[in-house]
Chains A and B, each alone.
Chain A
Amino acid sequence: MQATLETSRVPAAWIRIVHLLTTPRAARLTAPILIIVTWQLVAPLIGSTLLPMPIDVLEEFIDLAIEGTVWSAFAISFVRLGIGLALAVVIGVVVGLLLGLSPRAEAFAHDFLVIGLTFPYLIWGIIVSMWFGFGDAGPILVVFIAAVPYVIVNMAEGVRDAPRDLIDMARSYDAPRLRVIRQVVVPSLSPFFFAALRYGLANGWKGLVLAEVFAATSGAGWEIAGMRDIGNASGVVAYALYFAFFSILVERLVFGRLSDWVFRWRPRRPEAARAVNA
Chain B
Amino acid sequence: MRRARVVGRTFSGAAWVAGALLGWALCAGASAAIAQVTLPAPEPPAMESVATTCADCHEDRVEAFRSSPHGRVYQHSGDYATASCTSCHGDAAAHVEAGDGSNIVVPSRLSAAEIESTCMRCHSDNAAQTHWQGSMHQRRGVTCLDCHSIHAEREQRSEVESAMRTELCYECHQDVRSEMRKVSHHPVREGKMDCLSCHDPHGSITTKNLRAGSVNELCYDCHTEKRGPFLWEHAPVRENCMHCHTPHGSNHLKLQATSVPFLCQQCHANTRHPGSLYDATRLPTLDDPTTGSNRIFNRACVDCHAAIHGSNHPSAPYLAH
Physical interaction between A and B: no
B contact residues vs A (CB 8 Å cutoff): none
A contact residues vs B (CB 8 Å cutoff): none
